[in-house]
Amino acid sequence: MKKIVVILTALVLFIFVSCGEEEPDSDAGELPDWDYSNVVTDDDNGGGRPDTGADTSADSGSDSGSDTGDTADSGSSDVVVTPDEEPVVPTEECGNEKVDYNERCDTSAPMACSDLHTMMSGLAYCNENCTAYNLSGCSKSIWGVVNIGFRTNFIMDDAKIGDPSYFAKGSVGYAAFNGLYGDTKTYFPGEVPSVSYASTTNYTGSLGGQKRQLTIKQYPLQNGVQGYPRHELEFAPGTFKVGGDYSINAVSLFDMVDNLLKLVRYRLIDKQNGVECIMGIGYSGRVNIKKVYPENEQLYEGGSIEVVANDVDFYHPYEIPGYNDEDNPQEVPAEVLKYPVCTK
């Protein structure tokens, strides 16, 4: 009898100890180190990456109290960056004939303007601070042209870009957009400092479904505050993969079922009488995804991306080809414009 009692006691103790031991977290160490606090889960009808339960304070750059709460595209909101927090291009790297992370170019040799855009001619030079091409020696053959070279190691959450400490994590102090536009030659970004960044936010379709959407933006800094003209490159919502080509389109709406159409919108934003307005809308060209992480997933805060485009053409919204064609009018939808149209 005693033997049976001893065996039963030992068995109970073994079960108790086994249940009390913690299972090792097999996923620990595999989680990305960025903030998942704004992930759209399946419960949110977003069909996005599931909630990981990861600590959201580790890499957010600020607590939730600093969020602006603006989950819509913030193209119309001012991003304030005080002068001592403006991104600075390391001067020791400029001039080494190597394009470093916070540089657009780094060479004293002239470049053919046609290498930047097929519809330009003349010679372009890299600015002395390596942040942009000086296009004052270029000419164009259509109303507006732009070439784009952008890369970032940190994609921002659009709702947080009003926080300077957070904004500094992913902003880059070079001009991702270079080009010419207008009936008379106007070139950008000029000699003023420019800041470029990528932000991700929710896109809600007409039926209520949500996907993640990426927008790349650039604006000149004037006294530490957003200036004009500003540039927007707004991608169709959905996933990205290396080698993907997105077509510039001024009249088609995004497809919320999927992003197989691979559309992207380019906008040149100005400000008239205190109101933001659209001066130019992309008409043709292609934007190529050179690098992206994580690949083939909807991008959330903390991913990285690199895109290039050398053939983007744009026009004033009322002058896009076919706009006044009675047989096939190409009127730009309000959803594509997103802003009131500027006076030329």
Give me the residues paired with residue 252 across strands.
none
Residue pLDDT, tens place only, 256-270? 555 677 999 999 999
In whole angstroms, what is the distance from residue 69 CA to residue 200 CA? 14
User: Does the N-terminal peptide bond of residue 189 adopt cis geometry, omega within 30 degrees of 0?
Assistant: yes
The angle at the Cα of 89, spanning 33 to 232, to the nearest 5 degrees, equals 70
pLDDT of residue 79: 54
Would you state the pLDDT for residue 136? Answer: 87
Inter-CA distances, 327 with 222, 252, 323, 324, 330, Å: 45, 18, 10, 9, 10
Asked whether the beta carbons of 64 and 116 are under 8 A apart, the reply is: no
One-letter amino acid at 214 equals L
CA 139, CA 117: separation in Å to the nearest integer? 10
Q: Where are the domains of the chain?
A: 35-337
Q: Are 256 and 209 in contact (CB under 8 A)?
A: yes
In residues, how long is the chain? 344
Quote the CA–CA distance of 175 and 180 in Å, as a whole number: 14
CA proximity to 179, closest of 248, 268, 270:
268
pLDDT digits 0-9 by tens, 217-265: 998 887 767 789 999 999 999 899 999 999 999 888 886 555 677 999 9
Instruction: Please state, as a whole number, how many other Cβ atoms lie within 10 Å of the Cβ of residue 291.
Output: 13
**How many other CB atoms sit within 10 Å of the CB of residue 137?**
15
What do you get for the CA distance between the two ends of the chain, in Å?
Answer: 101
Model confidence over 179-212: pLDDT tens digits? 999 998 888 876 778 899 999 999 887 677 788 9
User: pTM for the full model?
Assistant: 0.74
How confident is the chain (344 residues) per 10-residue block, as mean pLDDT? 50 44 34 37 34 34 35 43 44 81 89 87 89 88 94 94 90 92 85 89 80 93 81 93 93 72 93 95 96 93 94 93 78 91 93
